[in-house]
Chains A and B, each alone.
Chain A
Amino acid sequence: MATPVLSTKFFVPPQRAHFVARSRLLDRLTEGRARHRKVTLISAPAGFGKTTILSEWIADIASKEPDTRIGWVSLDEGDNDPARFLDYVFAALKYPPRDGAPEPVIAELINLVERDSAPALLILDDFQVIDSVAVREAVVSLLAHQPAKLHLVIASRSDPPLPLGRLRAAGDLTELRAAELRFTPEESRTFLNEVMGLELSAGDIAALESRTEGWIAGLQLAALSMREHEDVAGFIEAFTGSNRFVVDYLAEEVLQRQPDALRSFLLQTAFLDRLTASLCDALTGRTDGHEMLDALERDNLFLVPLDEQRQWYRYHNLFADVLRARSRREDRDRVAELHRLASMWHEQHELLEPAISYALAGKHFERAAHLIERSLPEMRRRRHDMTLLAWLKLLPDDTTRRLPVLRTFSAWSMFIAGDLDGADRRFGEIEESLRSADGHDSLAGEELSKLPVTIAAYRAAIAQARGDIHATEVHARRALELSPADDHLGRGAGGGLLALALWAQGDVGAAVPAFRDAMSSLEVAGHLTDAISGTVFMADMLAVQGRRLAAREAFERATVLAATAGDGWAVDLHPGMSELAREEDDLDGALARLTAEPPSGAHAGVPENRYRWFVAMSRVREAQEHLDEAAELLDEAERFYLRGFFPDTRPISAMRARIWIKQGRFADAVAWAAERSVSADDDVEYLHEFEHVTLARLLIARSRSGGDGRDAPDATDVRATDATGATRLLDRLLGAAEAGGRGGSVNEILVLQSLALHAQGRLLDAMAPLRRALMLAEPEGYLRLFTDEGAPMAALLDEAGRRAIMPDYVRRLRRALGIATPTVDALVEALSDREVTVLRLLATELTGPQIAGELYISVNTLRTHTKHIFDKLGVSGRPAAVRRAQEQGLL
């Protein structure tokens, strides 16, 4: 069942056949737009003709600029759900629908407008109904990035909570307020005498004008009353002499003058937001709905058409308020019954949302609960969660007791609100009620049959949030076992959670294929954006496995998916892609990924990205040797840290300790280890692997440094203890990492093993782990894994070069280290005899052509030789080449 976007919501109200032309207002509006002001605000209480002047203006624009894209949204209370609000905005502007979090959807909207050749106009009418912060933020964010081509028009009964002062100060705002909107004496005259056909004297008009203060609704009601009055002069005298509130006085007057049938029709249909003949018939029990609506429109009785075909109408807001007040006063029980009838009519016409609203407004909670349950799948798919939650809040708890499908959603809402215990308890109850003989009232169908899977998946998610890895795995496996092959969503959710549990246990080898299956299930289920978000974590796991190329591929695929999902989604991929570029020593590229987006660490579907952005930035700054700044960025990351669904395999505090170690701040690093109770004798388990590796780094660095203010006599012993302690810890870590299939960890541990042995002066022994690390890392394109280790690694690579271990790769690493000084052996091997001859001549005073002459070769051939020599020596000019050759004892 669909809850379709109601097209009546973006129908531009037609101009009345007879109306007061208000060129003074029209000119102001036209001028504001011509001056490229970004926003037009029409702010005045009900009955000042806001919508009327707007529709006149829009009709004018539409006739003069047929290409301009015009989107009109008549807002109602339901639009406080940002997803729903944006759905309507897209539909009104005739852009294809978008699902997803507000931020990327707005980015997409801005892009669509910018790509359009024609200008666009977005009108938000009745903005006063918006009180949700989320929708307000969506509009503020649209204002902040508003393309010049888009003009935004807001009509509201009260000033909208938007940065109006700033817009005013910047000259970006055109305003029409009550003072400008009220009828001038001349407009009052035109209206009363020409539009309404009354023949009033100047004195009568002045009296009415003064009594209503130019309030248009008041004048309109007065005119309607007078039209039926025989004694117009008497009416004016009584009205202007009365102190009664204008609407109270006049609405009664107008109502009293209607035939009984019409009056009772008005009172029975007053509470409807939108009216159509058959709906009215369902409420009145009569068949004259059509005639009644025709009569109301003909008589100008505050009926506003909502479509071209004159099928749907609404009452003018002010008149509706008066009618509703009166009908409630007259027969409250009848009003409740009318709500039930309206709810039933909408249900029969498959309009579930209004059916639910009327049921709730009339306090028919059982009925509302059943309808809400039916609307669930479609509402969830469209991510109208806030609407669902608002409905649920209005339902007494016991009305959902026998509706497990609805109750599952309410348990989920407890879960996301952070009430883990309450949610888990409720899920347990629902599982029990599904098993019990007493049964339940949920309709049989897909939702119900999927329920056991859904609940198992949620319970896995709760266990995950509680950090209970075992329970996560149990529930997730159950979800997978229970879900049939074609339940892609169930398989995606269960499989994803199972993968996370496996990951948290360090079994990345099993986690990756499980997660991959889960992602493709989600993709098949149409949850594209989840598939994109999932990539971020998939890439994390692949990095742990040391499969950088596969991680790159996953990102590339996700980038394509993100483009399909719409602009803005790619932002989630950037921190991970930055880290990939960083490892390849492409620091500019790594930085560009991060600075392409707003610096606050925006995110689309992965809230964790707020902090991951700062982590990635810190990693880049660290690689650029800006260590203090890198540490500060980690402080920022910590502020935005979110536990999320994903295991915290790289704690920020440990990353900070690594920076301290680089800075030689060993005491701080030791304090960190103490605080986190990380010691070299711990059992090694994956969730603490990063911390243990950090500790090994601390021990190695300290053993190398000559102590941390310790007494000189013991220093040598302590240094030796540190280094051997590191080696022992690393041996154990290596075993665990290998068993868990964590190739990335294996690489780092091997590198550290070689560094630990080097620190002990065991250069030859260090070659074995280094050789293994080089062999494993080369095909995956690692660079920074080695080069981040600085001078000790340079010495190790020196030795590796001498031994012709992975010569190409070692040469590349040395070049990246900026110490491209091949060893003599390697150089002799590398330079041809001819090149050595040329090199010797380069060391003389001879010019290029003279050298060429000496060797009987052309200058061009000489250039080729020198170019090869420069490349092999890693230099860019003749003097540097000579110097390098001398350093190496070649000359």
Chain B
Amino acid sequence: MVEIRLDGQLDARWADWFDGMTLLPHDDGTTTLVGSVADQAALHGLLRRVGDLGMTLISVNAHGSRA
């Protein structure tokens, strides 16, 4: 399970673009992407998509597995 926190609020319609992650908008104008990723390569791919959209990455947290 990973949590990726981004600056800016992103509509839930973007979930598909982020490989089926769940998007949770927060009141402070940030968004958390939550979901599981298959492996390190998938996680890097996800982060690259965040970067490709020019979004500001605030934090990445991985829980449980070592994904």
Query: Do B53 and A247 have beta carbons less than 8 Å apart?
Result: yes
| 10 A–B pairs (Cβ distance < 8 Å), ordered by A | A46-B54, A157-B51, A218-B54, A242-B9, A243-B25, A318-B52, A318-B54, A321-B53, A322-B53, A324-B17
The answer on a CB contact under 8 Å between B16 and A329 is yes
Contacts of A324 in B (CB 8 A): 17
Contact: A246 with B8, CB < 8 Å?
yes
The yes or no answer to A404 lying at the interface (CB within 8 A) is: no
- Having A248-B11, A322-B53, one finds 4 other A-B pairs with CB under 8 Å, namely A128-B48, A247-B54, A248-B10, A329-B17
Per-residue CB contact flags for chain A residues 220-253 toward chain B (1 = under 8 Å, else 0) read 0000000000000000000000111111100000
Inter-subunit contact B53/A318 (CB<8 Å): yes
Contact A45 B51, beta carbon cutoff 8 Å:
yes
Q: Which of B11, B51, B52 has the most CB of A within 10 A?
A: B52
Contacts A328-B16, A329-B16 given; does A244 touch B9 at CB 8 Å: yes
Which B residues touch A248, using CB under 8 A? 8-11, 14
Q: Which of A45, A244, A326, A328 contacts B54 (CB 8 A)?
A: A45
Cross-chain contact A325 with B14 (CB below 8 angstroms): yes
- For window 151-200 of chain A, which residues contact chain B by CB distance below 8 Å? 157-158
> How long is the Cα–Cα vector from A48 to B52 in the complex, in angstroms?
12
Residues of B within 8 A of A246 (CB): 8, 54
Contact of B11 with A244 in the complex, beta carbons under 8 Å: yes
A329–B8 contact, CB under 8 A?
no
* Interface residue A215 (Cβ < 8 Å from any Cβ of B): yes
| Most-contacted residue by chain A among B17, B29, B31, B49 (CB, 10 A) | B17
Asked if A266 CB lies within 8 Å of chain B CBs, one says no
* In the complex, chain A residues whose CB is within 8 Å of the CB of B9: 242-245, 248
Binary A-proximity of B3-16 (CB < 8 A = 1, otherwise 0): 00010111101101
Give chain B residues whose Cβ lies under 8 Å from the Cβ of A47: 54
A243 touches B53 (CB 8 A): no
A217 within 8 A of B: yes
B41 to chain A, nearest CB (A): 10
B55 sits at the interface (CB 8 A):
yes
* Contact A325 B17, CB 8 Å, known A243-B8, A245-B8, A246-B8: yes
Q: Is B10 in contact with A317, judged by CB distance below 8 angstroms?
A: no
> For this complex, into which size category does the number of interface residues on chain B fall?
10 to 19
Nearest opposing residue in chain A for B8, CB measure: A245
Residues of A near B17 (CB, < 8 A) are 324-325, 328-329
Residue of A nearest to B27 (CB): A243
CB distance from B59 to the nearest CB of A (A): 17
* Structural contact, B51 and A325, CB atoms closer than 8 A: no
* Nearest-CB residue, chain A, relative to B16: A329
List residues of chain A with CB within 8 A of the CB of B29: 243
Beta-carbon nearest neighbor of B13 in chain A: A329
Would you give the shortest CB distance from B28 to chain A, in whole angstroms?
8
Residues in chain A near residue B55, CB distance under 8 A: 245, 247
Q: Are B52 and A244 in contact (CB under 8 A)?
A: no
- Please name the residue on chain A nearest to B11 by beta carbon: A248
How many residues does chain A have at the interface if contact means C-beta atoms less than 8 Å apart?
26
Determine how close the nearest CB of chain A comes to the CB of B23; give it in whole angstroms.
Answer: 10
CA distance A245 to B31 in the complex (A): 9
B residues lining the A interface (CB < 8 Å): 6, 8-11, 13-14, 16-17, 25, 29, 31, 48-49, 51-55
Q: Which residues of B contact A48 (CB under 8 A)?
A: 54
Q: Assess the B14–A158 pair: CB atoms within 8 A.
A: no
Task: Give A309-334 interface residues, CB cut-off 8 Å to B.
Answer: 317-318, 321-322, 324-326, 328-329
Residues of A within 8 A of B13 (CB): 326, 329
Contacts of B54 in A (CB 8 A): 45-48, 215, 217-218, 246-247, 318
Known A329-B16, A329-B17; judge A46-B52 contact (CB<8 A).
yes
When chains A and B are docked, how far (Å) is the Cα of A158 from the Cα of B51?
A: 8
Q: How far, in whole Å, are A215 and B53 apart by their CA atoms in the complex?
A: 12
- A residues with CB within 8 A of B: 45-48, 128, 157-158, 215, 217-218, 242-248, 317-318, 321-322, 324-326, 328-329
Q: Which residues of B contact A242 (CB under 8 A)?
A: 9
- Expressed in whole angstroms, the minimum distance between the Cβ of A709 and any Cβ of chain B is 60
B30's nearest neighbour on chain A, judged by CB, is A243
Which residues of the other chain, A, contact B51 by a CB distance below 8 angstroms? 45-46, 157-158
Give complex CA distance A321, B17 in Å. Answer: 9
Whether A321 pairs with B52 at a CB distance below 8 angstroms is: yes
From B14, B25, B53, A46 is in contact (CB under 8 Å) with: B53
Q: Which residues of A sit under 8 angstroms from B6, Cβ to Cβ?
A: 245
Q: Which residues of A contact B10 (CB under 8 A)?
A: 244-245, 248
Name the residue of chain A whose CB is nearest to the CB of B26: A243
**A317 to B8, Cβ gap below 8 A?**
no
In the complex, what residues of A have CB within 8 A of residue B49's CB?
321
CA distance A325 to B17 in the complex (A): 5
What residues of chain B lie closer than 8 Å to A45, measured between beta carbons? 51-52, 54
- When A246-B8, A248-B8 are in contact, do A157 and B52 touch as well, CB less than 8 Å? yes
Q: Report A255 CB to chain B, min CB distance, Å.
A: 13
Using CB atoms, name the residue of chain A closest to B10: A245
CB distance from A248 to the nearest CB of B (A): 6
Smallest CB separation, B55 vs chain A (Å)? 6
Q: How far is the CA of A324 from the CA of B53 in the complex (A)?
A: 12
Which 5 residue pairs across A and B have the least CB separation, nearest first?
A245-B8, A325-B17, A243-B29, A243-B9, A45-B54
- Most B CB atoms within 10 A — which of A48, A128, A325, A326? A325
Inter-chain CA distance A328–B19, complex, in Å, is: 11
Contact A244 B8 (CB under 8 A): yes
Of all chain B residues, which has the CB nearest A317? B52
Most buried by B among A47, A218, A245: A245
Query: Complex: how many Å from CA A244 to CA B48?
Result: 20
Residues from chain B with Cβ under 8 Å of A215 in the complex = 54
How far is it, in angstroms, between the C-alpha of A215 and the C-alpha of B54 when the chains are bound? 9
Q: How far is the CA of A477 from the CA of B11 in the complex (A)?
A: 67
Across-interface contacts of A217 in B (CB, < 8 A): 54
Return the chain B residue nearest A213 by Cβ. Answer: B56
Q: How far is the CA of A403 from the CA of B28 in the complex (A)?
A: 57
Complex-state Cα separation, A477 to B14, whole angstroms: 61
Smallest beta-carbon distance B52→chain A, Å:
5
Note all chain B residues with C-beta closer than 8 A to A158.
48, 51
- Bound-state CA distance A47–B13 (Å) is 22
Measured CB to CB, the closest approach of chain A to B10, in angstroms, equals 5
User: Cα distance A245–B48 when bound, in Å?
Assistant: 17
Which residue of the partner chain B has the closest CB to A246? B8
Note all chain A residues with C-beta closer than 8 A to B11. 244, 248
For the complex formed, measure the closest distance between the CB of B4 and the CB atoms of chain A, giving whole angstroms.
13
Q: Which residue of B lies closest to A243 (CB)?
A: B29
Complex: A542 Cα to B29 Cα, angstroms: 77
* Closest B residue to A48 using CB positions: B54
Distance of A215 Cα from B29 Cα, bound (Å): 18
Residues of chain B within 8 A (CB-CB) of A317 are 52
CA distance A45 to B8 in the complex (A): 16
Q: How far is the CB of A28 from chain B (nearest CB, A)?
A: 22
Q: Would you give the shortest CB distance from B30 to chain A, in whole angstroms?
A: 9
CA distance A364 to B30 in the complex (A): 39
- Interface contact A325-B16, CB-CB below 8 Å: yes
Q: How far is the CB of B26 from chain A (nearest CB, A)?
A: 9
Q: Which residue of B lies closest to A242 (CB)?
A: B9
Q: How far is the CA of A41 from the CA of B25 in the complex (A)?
A: 35
Task: With both chains docked as a complex, state the minimum distance between the C-beta of A215 and any C-beta of chain B, in angstroms.
Answer: 7
Of the listed residues B31, B48, B53, the one surrounded by the most CB atoms of chain A closer than 10 A to its CB is B53
With both chains docked as a complex, state the minimum distance between the C-beta of A769 and any C-beta of chain B, in angstroms. 67
CA distance A128 to B52 in the complex (A): 10
Which residues from B are CB-within-8-Å of A325?
14, 16-17
